[in-house]
C-alpha cells in the first residue's frame, strides 16, 4: 500500500483516496515575475514524479497546479519595466513552460490563473465575512480573523499565543489582531484592480489557492503539495480559510518538499543566492538536473554545487551506456525488480532507492552482454527504460543522449566530418594527424571510442 508522509500529522500514513482509484491533487505553482530558479525546479520535478507514479500505479489523477499572476512583486516589476503587468506575466509564463518542457515535466490537468478566478475568490471572502471569520478594516482591506478559527496552527505546529509572543509583528491599526491576514487589498492609485462589494481591489495571495483548488477539485481533496517554505503561513492560512468557509476538512494529505540550499542556506530570490534553471542549462543537460533532484528524497534538503550535477552526468552516462546498441524487446511482466521498484516508491516516493534499482538492472544488462545473451540484455534494457520512465528518466534514445547536449558546441555534422578525416589519416598510418583530431575533439567536449573497427562519439 502507498504510504505518504503527511505534514499535517508529521508521520507516514497509509494513503486512502476519497474516491476509489481516483486522486485529486493540488500543488502551489509559480508567481510569474521572473525566471524560475532551481528551487522552483525541485517543486516542478518532485510533484511531476508523484503525478507520474500515481498514474503508473493505476490511479486516475486530476492534477491542478496554479499560476499566481497578480501580486505585489508582479506589480512592482511591471512598474519598474514600464509595461502592463499582463505583458510581464505572459512573458514569464511562457518561459516557465519552456523550463518545464526542458525538464520533462508533464502538463497538469488544469493550470488556473489567479486573474481568471476572481469571482470564486469574492464568493469565498463574502462567505467568510457572513460567517464572522473575516471583516473589513478601516483601510478598506478585508482581513481574516485568525482568533476565530480554533484549529489555526495545526499544520505548522504553531500556537497563536506563541506567534504573538515570539515574533515581531508590525502594528497595523486597520487590523483587529497583528496576526490577521489580508483576503482582499483595496486598490492603490495606478494598480490593477477588480470590482468587489468592498470597492476596487485585488485578492490576497492566500485566498487564491483556496478558491482555485476548491473550484476545480471540490471543497475536500486528497493531496496538497508545495515547498516547505509554504507550510507557514501560506498553507496554514489556506486551511483556515477553506475549513472556516466550508465547515469540514480541506485536505487529507499535505506533502512538502525540502529546500535546495547553497552553502547550507535556502536558495531564494529574496536572499539573492539563486541560479535560474536557464543558467544551469547552459552547463548541464536538463536530464542531469532532473536526476540531481530525484537522487535525493523529496523531503530532504538538497545542496547545490557542481559536484552532484557532475555525478548526475556520470550516472546517466552509465545508464545510457547500458542501453546502447541493443535491439527493441518487450520488458518482462511483474518482474522481481519491478515489484521492488514499486515498493520503494510506495514508501513515500523513495526515489534514491528506486534509482539504485535502475543501476542493478544496468549491471544485469552488462552481465548479459558479456555472456552474449542478447535477448536477456534487450529485455532487461526494456525494463530499465520502463521503470526509469516512471521517474521521467532515460526517455531519450541512447545515441541522442551521447550526441546531443542542448549546449552550444560543435554541430553533429562537423563532428562526423572530423571523424571521417581521422579515419582517413589512420588508413594512411598518419598517427600524428589522427591524434591531433582526437585531441581537437576532446578539447570541444567530444570523446571518441574506437571498437572493432568502428568509431563512436559522445559529448562529455
List strand residue ranges (DSSP E) for 96-242, in order. 134-136, 142-144, 181-186, 201-203, 221-227
User: What are the cell numbers at 352?
Assistant: 534514491
386 marked ligand binding residue: no
40 marked ligand binding residue: no
234 marked ligand binding residue: yes
Burial class (CB in 10 A: 0-12, 13-18, 19+), 272: exposed
Neighbouring CB atoms inside 10 A of 265's CB total: 11
Helix and strand element counts for the chain (H, E): 16, 15
Q: Which helix (H) or strand (E) holds 400?
A: helix 398-403
How would DSSP label each residue in 295-354?
TS-TTS-EE--HHHHHHHHHHHHHHHHHHTT----PPPTT-HHHHHHHHHHHBT--HHHH
What are the backbone dihedrals phi and psi of residue 327, each rounded to the nearest 5 degrees, phi first?
-70, 160
**26 CB contacts (<8 Å, ≥6 apart)?**
64, 65, 66, 209, 212, 213, 216, 217, 221, 223, 224, 225, 251
Q: Which helix (H) or strand (E) holds 81?
A: helix 72-81
Task: Estimate to the nearest angstrom the gap between the alpha carbon of 273 and the chain centroid.
Answer: 19
What count of Cα atoms within 13 Å lies in the side-chain half-sphere of residue 460? 13
Q: Which is it for strands 221-227 and 22-27: parallel, antiparallel or unpaired? A: parallel
User: What are the cell numbers at 19?
Assistant: 474516491
What are the backbone dihedrals phi and psi of residue 3, each rounded to the nearest 5 degrees, phi first?
-115, 135
Burial class (CB in 10 A: 0-12, 13-18, 19+), 280: buried
CA dist 133 to 127, 155, 246, Å?
A: 9, 19, 12
CA distance 38 to 302: 10
What count of Cα atoms within 13 Å lies in the side-chain half-sphere of residue 29? 30
238 marked ligand binding residue: yes
Q: Mark the binding-site residues for Zn(2+), compressed into ranges.
A: 28, 209, 234, 238
Q: Mark the binding-site residues, compressed into ranges.
A: 28, 209, 234, 238, 269
Q: Mark the binding-site residues for ATP, compressed into ranges.
A: 269
Amino acid at each position: 500500500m502507498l504510504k505518504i508522509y503527511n505534514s499535517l500529522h508529521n508521520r507516514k500514513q497509509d494513503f486512502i483516496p476519497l474516491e476509489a482509484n481516483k486522486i485529486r491533487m493540488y500543488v502551489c505553482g509559480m508567481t510569474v515575475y521572473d525566471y524560475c530558479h532551481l528551487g522552483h525546479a525541485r517543486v516542478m520535478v518532485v510533484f511531476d514524479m508523484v503525478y507520474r507514479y500515481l498514474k503508473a500505479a493505476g490511479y486516475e489523477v486530476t492534477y491542478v497546479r496554479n499560476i499566481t499572476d497578480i501580486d505585489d512583486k508582479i506589480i512592482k516589476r511591471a512598474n519598474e519595466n514600464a509595461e502592463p503587468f499582463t505583458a510581464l506575466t505572459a512573458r514569464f509564463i511562457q518561459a516557465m513552460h519552456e523550463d518545464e518542457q526542458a525538464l520533462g515535466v508533464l502538463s497538469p490537468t488544469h493550470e488556473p490563473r489567479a486573474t481568471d478566478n476572481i469571482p470564486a475568490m469574492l464568493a469565498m471572502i463574502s462567505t467568510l465575512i457572513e460567517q464572522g471569520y473575516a471583516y473589513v478594516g478601516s483601510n478598506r482591506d478585508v482581513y481574516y480573523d485568525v482568533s476565530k478559527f480554533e484549529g489555526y496552527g495545526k499544520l505548522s505546529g504553531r500556537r497563536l499565543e506563541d506567534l504573538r509572543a515570539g515574533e515581531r509583528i508590525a502594528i497595523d491599526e486597520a487590523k483587529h489582531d497583528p496576526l490577521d491576514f489580508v483576503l482582499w487589498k483595496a486598490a492603490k492609485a495606478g494598480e490593477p484592480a477588480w470590482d468587489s462589494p468592498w470597492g476596487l481591489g485585488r485578492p490576497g495571495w492566500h485566498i487564491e489557492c483556496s478558491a482555485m483548488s476548491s473550484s476545480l477539485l471540490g471543497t475536500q481533496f486528497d493531496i496538497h503539495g508545495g515547498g516547505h517554505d509554504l507550510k507557514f503561513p501560506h498553507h496554514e492560512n489556506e486551511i483556515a480559510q477553506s475549513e472556516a468557509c466550508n465547515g469540514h476538512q480541506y485536505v487529507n494529505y499535505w506533502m512538502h518538499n525540502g529546500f535546495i540550499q547553497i552553502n547550507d542556506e535556502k536558495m531564494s530570490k529574496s536572499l539573492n543566492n539563486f541560479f535560474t534553471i536557464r543558467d544551469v542549462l547552459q552547463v548541464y543537460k536538463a536530464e542531469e538536473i532532473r536526476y540531481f533532484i530525484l537522487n535525493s528524497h523529496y523531503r530532504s534538503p538538497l545542496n547545490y554545487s557542481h559536484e552532484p550535477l557532475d555525478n548526475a552526468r556520470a550516472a546517466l552516462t552509465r545508464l545510457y551506456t547500458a542501453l546502447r546498441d541493443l535491439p527493441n524487446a518487450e520488458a518482462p511482466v511483474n518482474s522481481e525488480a519491478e515489484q521492488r521498484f514499486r515498493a520503494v516508491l510506495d514508501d513515500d516516493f523513495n526515489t534514491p532507492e528506486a534509482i539504485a534499482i535502475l543501476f542493478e538492472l544496468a549491471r544485469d544488462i552488462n552481465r548479459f552482454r558479456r555472456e552474449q545473451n542478447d535477448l536477456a540484455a534487450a529485455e532487461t534494457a526494456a525494463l530499465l527504460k520502463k521503470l526509469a520512465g516512471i521517474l521521467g528518466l532515460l526517455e531519450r534514445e541512447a545515441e541522442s543522449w551521447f550526441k546531443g547536449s542542448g549546449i552550444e558546441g560543435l554541430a553533429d555534422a562537423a563532428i562526423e566530418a572530423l571523424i571521417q578525416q581521422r579515419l582517413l589519416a589512420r588508413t594512411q598510418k598518419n598517427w600524428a594527424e589522427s591524434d591531433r583530431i582526437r585531441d581537437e575533439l576532446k578539447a570541444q567536449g567530444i570523446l571518441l571510442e574506437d571498437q572493432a573497427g568502428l568509431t563512436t562519439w559522445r559529448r562529455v
